[in-house]
């Protein structure tokens, strides 16, 4: 089956107009997303868990089994959906977080981790509101770096280290 | 702690992210402390890369035509041949009706959008003033919602995925991902390349 | 993240039409899966011309047996399974039988010399390619199939298990053996 160009154009224009009306009703208002980053050094040096990590220390011990966990950086920031926020982390790492949309209780976002200017990892994911993503593995001094990434939309916050003065965050 | 011999058997599956979460964890622990196994893992990813680089990509020009030519030479059931003939006839007649239907649908949509009838039609379907009572019933206090959620939470925490990764790109061929539902956490593992 | 092919509504319709003798509909399915089917055949027989011929035969067999295809499994997996079976049969019938490491060698993985410590040394590209191809030839078709289906075709262990109709544990052990073998060969090349 084929349609003449004229009929097809008419159909496309009418469908587009109808669709635009629907989209305008469906478009959600822009919403802010809070992002929390904790940088942790994990090592086998038997120094115990940094007290500032108290809320998440048990989780880290259960996940990784090291004997030392030290908080080496804490960053937090706020951005709108569609805008990227950048964090400078210890060890020359840079983290870009760009929330894309809020879908119910899930926050869709893109995360890019750089080692200097070299991208180490790019991921698209949906994170539950107040949920945590952990990125681990890069060597840091005598141990390994663990980066805990949390996000929330409301006033409550995901499990994170007790806040130290936030490091610099830039929003684009 | 697991020995290199045990871990060695699992390195390939770790590289392929095909282990259970607890096994991924065990291998990750070991790799964080064992340069030898980390080196072997790197060699596995090198092998994979080399295999992909030497892989032949045969030209498939004309492939599907050749297959269809062979298929068409196969003996066809009589019913299938009759049905095909009838379908071809119906297709040519049906095209005209399809045009008319498409134009009519486009015209109806335009009328609905551009005339005041659209608004009246929308108002006719709007909810009456009793919506205030409905809203009151739906406006459950936040504390009750939290309480209800907490009651259901034990099973939700076990089954609910709190991170859904749709794309993960990395130059690091040893990247691994696993989920720890009991700890509401997803882990992405990026060991340093040897 | 890899997922096996799933039969969606469009594909179900194409299969149904193909069953009724619509070769055009079947042609769409051929276009969709030809690359992968050739890849599966190539993973076993390691020869382009043979792989293309086997892939064509796969589609013809599939067309002839569409009535036997049950929608419970995915069409793609069914297709790849036909391709793998045809390829393995072909190899056994026609292929070179210079097999240095047979099925029994799987039980002797620990006896393989293990490369220790050092990373691969620099080797010329062409030497590596030639040596790697030869090393692949030395594997049985089953071992070669799993390593190529995994590394080149990007199939998951479950997909490979479905296609080759062997347990997932067998896929894992064959992969381990194949990787160890290739690693040792390349370590020898690096040591020359």
Report whether pLDDT(C3) > 80: no
The C-alpha angle A38, A41, A46, rounded to 5 degrees, equals: 135
pLDDT digits (tens, 9 = 90+) for B63-87: 998 999 888 888 766 766 676 677 6
pLDDT given at position C56: 94
Could you tell me the residue ranges of all domains in chain A? 32-171
Question: Residue C70 burial by CB count (10 A; 0-12/13-18/19+): exposed, middle or buried?
Answer: exposed
- Going by their DSSP bridges, the two strands B185-189 and A85-88 should be labelled as unpaired
| Residue C81 in this model has a pLDDT that exceeds 60 | yes
Q: Across chain C, what does the average pLDDT equal?
A: 80
Residue B41 pLDDT > 80: yes
At A33-42, the pLDDT tens digits run 999 999 999 9
Give the tens place of pLDDT for each residue, A64-77: 888 899 999 999 99
Give me the interface pTM, i.e. the ipTM: 0.76
Q: How confident is the model at residue C37 (pLDDT cuts 50, 70, 90)?
A: very high
Chains A and B share 3 or more Cβ pairs within 8 Å: yes
Burial (CB count <10 Å: 0-12, 13-18, 19+), residue C30:
buried
Residue A170: its pLDDT value, please? Answer: 54
List, in sequence order, every residue forming a beta bridge with A101; answer none if it has no partner.
A108
Residue C146: pLDDT band with limits 50, 70, 90: very high
What mean pLDDT is reported for chain A?
A: 80
Show the tokens assigned to B111: 């009328």
Separation CA A39–CA A35 (nearest Å) = 13
State the average pLDDT over residues A152-167.
58
DSSP label at A29? Answer: P
Q: Where are the domains of chain B?
A: 1-53+171-194
Give the closest-approach CA distance of A165 to chain B in angstroms: 25
Angstrom distance (rounded) from CA C62 to CA A121:
41
B18/C contact by beta carbon, under 8 A:
yes
The mean per-residue pLDDT over the stretch A113-140 comes to 90
Instruction: State the residue for tokens 């949920």.
Output: A131
- Say whether pLDDT at C2 is over 60: no
Tokens, residue A142: 């005598």
How close C93 gets to chain B, by Cα (Å)?
Answer: 23
Euclidean distance between CA atoms C171 and C150, whole angstroms: 10
DSSP 8-state secondary structure symbol assigned to residue B177: E
A20-35, pLDDT tens digit by residue?
Answer: 655 554 444 558 899 9
The per-residue pLDDT for A2 is: 53
Residue of B54, B67, B76 lying closest to C133 (CB–CB): B54
C34/C44 Cα distance (integer angstroms): 16
Closest residue, chain C, to B88 (C-alpha) = C22
- The tens digit of pLDDT for each residue in B112-159 reads 777 766 566 666 655 444 433 333 334 433 333 333 333 333 333 334
In chain B, residues with a C-beta closer than 8 Å to the C-beta of C179 are 12, 44, 47
DSSP letters, A135-162, are EEEEEETTEEEEEEEEEESSS---S-PP
Q: Which residue segments constitute the domains of chain C, with CATH numbers given?
A: 9-94 (1.10.1740.10), 103-191 (1.10.10.10)
Residue B46 and residue C120: Cβ atoms within 8 Å? yes
> B7 with B25: CB under 8 angstroms?
no
Distance CA C120, CA A23 (A): 56
The closest alpha carbon to A146, from A58, A40, A56, belongs to: A40
Asked if residues B29 and B4 have their Cβ atoms less than 8 Å apart, the reply is no
pLDDT value at position A15?
A: 67
Query: Which pLDDT tens digit goes with each residue over C102-127?
Result: 444 444 444 444 444 444 444 566 77
């Amino acid at each position: 089956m084929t349609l003449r160009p004229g009929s097809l154009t008419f159909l496309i224009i009418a469908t587009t107009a109808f669709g635009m009306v629907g989209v305008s009703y469906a478009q959600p208002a822009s919403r802010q997303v809070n992002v929390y980053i904790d940088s942790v050094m994990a090592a086998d040096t038997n120094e115990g868990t940094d007290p500032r990590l108290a809320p998440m220390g048990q989780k880290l011990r259960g996940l990784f089994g090291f004997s030392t966990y030290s908080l080496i950086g804490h960053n937090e920031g706020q951005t709108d959906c569609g805008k990227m926020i950048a964090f400078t982390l210890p060890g020359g790492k840079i983290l870009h977080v760009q929330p894309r949309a809020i879908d119910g209780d899930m926050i869709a976002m893109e995360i890019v981790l750089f080692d200097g200017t070299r991208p180490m990892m790019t991921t698209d994911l949906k994170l539950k509101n107040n949920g945590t993503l952990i990125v681990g593995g890069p060597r840091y001094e005598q141990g390994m770096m663990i980066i805990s990434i949390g996000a929330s939309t409301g006033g409550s916050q995901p499990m994170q280290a007790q806040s130290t003065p936030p490091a610099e965050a830039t929003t684009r | 702690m697991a020995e290199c011999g045990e871990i060695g058997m699992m390195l390939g599956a770790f590289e392929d992210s095909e282990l259970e979460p607890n096994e991924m964890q065990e291998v990750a622990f070991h790799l964080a402390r064992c340069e030898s196994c980390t080196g072997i893992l790197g060699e596995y990813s090198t092998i994979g890369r080399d295999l992909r680089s030497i892989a032949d990509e045969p030209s498939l020009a004309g492939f599907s035509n050749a297959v269809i030519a062979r298929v068409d030479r196969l003996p066809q059931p009589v019913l299938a041949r009759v049905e095909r003939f009838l379908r071809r006839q119906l297709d040519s007649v049906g095209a005209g009706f399809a045009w008319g239907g498409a134009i009519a649908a486009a015209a109806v949509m335009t009328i609905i959008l551009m005339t005041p009838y659209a608004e009246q039609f929308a108002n006719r379907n709007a909810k009456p003033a009793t919506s205030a009572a409905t809203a009151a019933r739906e406006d459950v206090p936040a504390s009750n919602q939290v309480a209800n959620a907490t009651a259901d939470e034990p099973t939700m925490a076990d089954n609910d995925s709190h991170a859904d990764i749709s794309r993960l790109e990395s130059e690091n061929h040893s990247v691994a991902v696993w989920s720890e539902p009991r700890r509401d956490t997803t882990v992405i593992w990026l060991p340093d390349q040897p | 993240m890899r997922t096996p092919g799933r039969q969606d509504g469009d594909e179900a319709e194409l299969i149904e039409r193909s069953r009724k003798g619509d070769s055009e509909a079947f042609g769409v399915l051929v276009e969709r899966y030809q690359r992968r089917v050739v890849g599966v055949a190539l993973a076993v027989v390691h020869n382009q011309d043979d792989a293309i011929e086997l892939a064509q035969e796969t589609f013809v067999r599939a067309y002839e047996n569409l009535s036997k295809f049950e929608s419970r499994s995915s069409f793609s997996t069914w297709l790849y399974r036909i391709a793998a079976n045809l390829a393995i049969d072909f190899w056994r019938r026609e292929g070179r039988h210079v097999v240095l490491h047979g099925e029994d060698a799987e039980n002797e993985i620990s006896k393989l010399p293990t490369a220790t410590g050092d990373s691969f040394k620099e080797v010329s590209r062409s030497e590596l390619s030639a040596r790697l191809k030869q090393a692949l030839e030395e594997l049985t078709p089953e071992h070669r199939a799993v390593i190529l289906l995994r590394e080149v075709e990007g199939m998951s262990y479950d997909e490979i298990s479905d296609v080759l109709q062997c347990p997932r544990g067998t896929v894992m052990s064959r992969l381990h053996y194949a990787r160890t073998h290739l690693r040792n060969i390349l370590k020898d090349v690096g040591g020359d």
